[in-house]
Structure 1
Amino acid sequence: MSETDTTPRPGLPARLFDIFRLVAVIEGVTTLLLFLVAMPVKYLLGAPGLVQLAGPVHGYAFLAYAALMVAALWGRGWGVADWLRTFGASLVPFGTFLNDPFLKRRRAADGRA
């Protein structure tokens, strides 16, 4: 296979979906660390160091979530509501954790497990 060959690889969609779910957990954990640990320490104790560390980590996790969401879900025939639900899950604390069972069910229903 040449470097410019764009032939789809059979296992790639499933692996991308698994990677997306892992990044969703990471994004959720960084959200909770930022909101429940770093920000209270900053505002209650006046120590902004944790926010300066956790903020960018969460930002990169969020960007990875958004990019992998598109890569992993594109072409699966999901409706607008499914896309909005999955994206919206990244915007609220615990959202990615609550959305994970939905992702599992949809993946099984897609037959691309």
Structure 2
Amino acid sequence: MVTWTLLVLGMVLKYTGVTEWGVRGGGLVHGVVFLGYAAVTVLVAWNQRWRPLTTLLGLLSAVVPWAAWPHDRLLLRRGLLDGGWRRERGEGRLEGLRLAVLDHPVRSMVVVVVLVAVATAVLLWLGPPTGWAERFG
């Protein structure tokens, strides 16, 4: 919610002719936090065995300004955030990966940070969505 607020304030400053720096700085911070939020949402959904629709709604809640807060409240009310990290091996081909992530939290965090940094760099290289047609069209 904080980064959405920074981005929206930056857009107000940009489109009122004050400065573009709010969008550049707020947009970058928001983008990085958005990617991190998506990664954490997927990991928590995997651990808590959410239905695919619940996971999708969690990811979409980050796209709509300020929607993550009511979505998180809904998850709390429904008990979908209860309990700790599952340590038992469940069914599925990726359960070994989930347990490896839990067994090596620092290493896993470094991997997520690197992936977010790479994704951010690629997205910065691509530029804003409005310029994709000129770049790739």
User: Higher RCO, 1 or 2 (CA under 8 Å, sep at least 6)?
Assistant: 1
2:73 matched residue in structure 1: 101
1:45 matched residue in structure 2: 17
Q: Displacement, 1:86?
A: 0.7
Change (3 A) 1:104 1:88: same
Task: Judge conservation of contact 2:10–2:23 (CA < 8 Å) in 1.
Answer: yes
**1:64 and 1:105 mapped to 2: Cα distance?**
24
Whichever of the two has the greater Rg, that structure is: 2
**1:38 and 1:55 mapped to 2: Cα distance?**
8
Query: What is the identity percentage for the equivalent residue pairs of Structure 1 and Structure 2?
Result: 32
TM-score, with structure 1 as normaliser: 0.66
Q: Displacement, 1:32?
A: 2.3
Structure 1 moving runs of 4+ over 3 Å: none
Q: Displacement, 1:41?
A: 0.2
Where structure 2 has 5 or more consecutive residues not aligned to the other structure, the ranges are 85-137
Q: Displacement, 1:45?
A: 2.1
For the pair 1:30 / 2:37, whether they are aligned, the reply is no
The counterpart of 1:84, out of the listed 43, 56, 70, is 56
Task: Judge conservation of contact 2:50–2:80 (CA < 8 Å) in 1.
Answer: no
Amino acid at match of 1:74: W
**1:55 and 1:110 mapped to 2: Cα distance?**
29
Task: Judge conservation of contact 2:75–2:81 (CA < 8 Å) in 1.
Answer: no
What is the CA RMSD across the aligned residues, in angstroms?
A: 1.8
For the pair 1:112 / 2:66, whether they are aligned, the reply is no
Q: Displacement, 1:109?
A: 5.2
TM-score, with structure 2 as normaliser: 0.55
2:127 matched residue in structure 1: none
What do residues 35-85 of structure 1 show as CA deviations (whole Å, max 9, x unaligned)?
2x1001011124101111111100110010011111222132211211111
